[in-house]
Structure 1
Amino acid sequence: MKISIIGTVILTTFIVVQGCSSQVKTIPGSQQTTAKNSQEHDLASNSNNSSQHQQHQQKQAPASSTQAKLIVPKKIKSIQAVPLAINIQDQSGKTVSNFDTFQEKQMHLIVVSDDLRFFQHVHPSHKGNGRFEVSPDFPAPGSYTLFSDYKPTGQKEQVSVQKITIPGEVPLPTALEKFSHTKVLADTKINLALPEKKLIAGKEVKLSFNVQEIKQNRPVKDLQPYLGEKGHLVIVKSSSPLTTSDYIHAHPLKDSRDGQINFLSSFPSPGTYKVWLQFNRNGKVNTADFWLNAI
Structure 2
Amino acid sequence: MKRTIWIALALSLVLLAACSKTGGKETSARTDGHGTEHGSEHGGHEEGGGAAAADATRAVWKLSAAKPQAGAVTTVSVQVEDKNGKPVEAFDISHEKMMHLIVISKDLSYFDHIHPEYKGNGRFDIDTRFPAGGEYKLYADYVPKGGSTVTKSEWIRVEGNAAASVPVTPDANLVKAVDGKEVKLSIDGLAAGKDASLTFHIADEKTKQPITDLQPYLGAVGHVVIVSGDAEQYLHVHPTEEKAKGPDAKFMTKFPNSGVYKIWGQFQHNGKTFIVPFVVKVP
What is the TM-score normalised by the length of structure 1?
0.76
Q: 246-255 or 140-149, which moves further after superposition?
A: 246-255
Residue equivalent to 1:249: 236
Query: Closer, same or farther in 2 for the Cα pair 1:68/1:294, shift >3 Å?
Result: same
Q: How big is the shift at 1:75? A: 3.1
1:170-222: CA deviation from partner (whole Å, max 9, x where unpaired): 232378856130111121110111236xx321121211110001232111022
Residue equivalent to 1:187: 180
The answer to whether the Cα contact below 8 Å between 2:59 and 2:81 also exists between their aligned partners in 1 is: yes
Residue equivalent to 2:120: 128
CA distance in 2, matches of 1:277, 1:228: 15
Residue equivalent to 2:94: 102
Q: How big is the shift at 1:81? A: 2.5
1:136-168: CA deviation from partner (whole Å, max 9, x where unpaired): 222210100011000111222111011110012
The answer to whether the Cα contact below 8 Å between 1:16 and 1:64 also exists between their aligned partners in 2 is: no
The answer to whether the Cα contact below 8 Å between 1:112 and 1:146 also exists between their aligned partners in 2 is: yes
CA distance in 2, matches of 1:67, 1:174: 32
Query: Closer, same or farther in 2 for the Cα pair 1:175/1:209, shift >3 Å?
Result: same
Q: How big is the shift at 1:264? A: 1.2
Residue equivalent to 1:67: 58
Residue equivalent to 1:18: 38
What is the TM-score normalised by the length of structure 2?
0.79
Residue equivalent to 1:36: none
The answer to whether the Cα contact below 8 Å between 2:192 and 2:282 also exists between their aligned partners in 1 is: yes
Q: Percent identity, aligned pairs only?
A: 34
The answer to whether the Cα contact below 8 Å between 1:235 and 1:247 also exists between their aligned partners in 2 is: yes
CA distance in 2, matches of 1:248, 1:62: 17
Q: How big is the shift at 1:26? A: 1.9
CA distance in 2, matches of 1:62, 1:294: 28
CA distance in 1, matches of 2:265, 2:111: 11
Query: Closer, same or farther in 2 for the Cα pair 1:100/1:178, shift >3 Å?
Result: same
- Of the three residues 139, 142, 147, the one matched with 2:131 is 139
Query: Closer, same or farther in 2 for the Cα pair 1:126/1:119, shift >3 Å?
Result: same
What amino acid does structure 2 have at the position aligned with 1:107?
M
CA distance in 1, matches of 2:151, 2:134: 23
Structure in which a larger fraction of residues adopt helix: 2
Structure 1, unpaired ranges of 5+: 1-13, 29-48, 52-60
The answer to whether the Cα contact below 8 Å between 1:15 and 1:64 also exists between their aligned partners in 2 is: no
Query: Closer, same or farther in 2 for the Cα pair 1:124/1:17, shift >3 Å?
Result: farther
CA distance in 2, matches of 1:120, 1:87: 20
1:34-87: CA deviation from partner (whole Å, max 9, x where unpaired): xxxxxxxxxxxxxxx547xxxxxxxxx987511211101213234332111111
CA distance in 2, matches of 1:276, 1:78: 23
The answer to whether the Cα contact below 8 Å between 1:15 and 1:158 also exists between their aligned partners in 2 is: no
Residue equivalent to 2:14: none
Q: How big is the shift at 1:18? A: 3.3
Runs of 4+ displaced beyond 4 Å: 14-17, 61-64, 174-178
The answer to whether the Cα contact below 8 Å between 2:100 and 2:115 also exists between their aligned partners in 1 is: yes
Query: Closer, same or farther in 2 for the Cα pair 1:80/1:260, shift >3 Å?
Result: farther
Query: Closer, same or farther in 2 for the Cα pair 1:112/1:268, shift >3 Å?
Result: same
Residue equivalent to 1:204: 195
Count of aligned pairs: 247
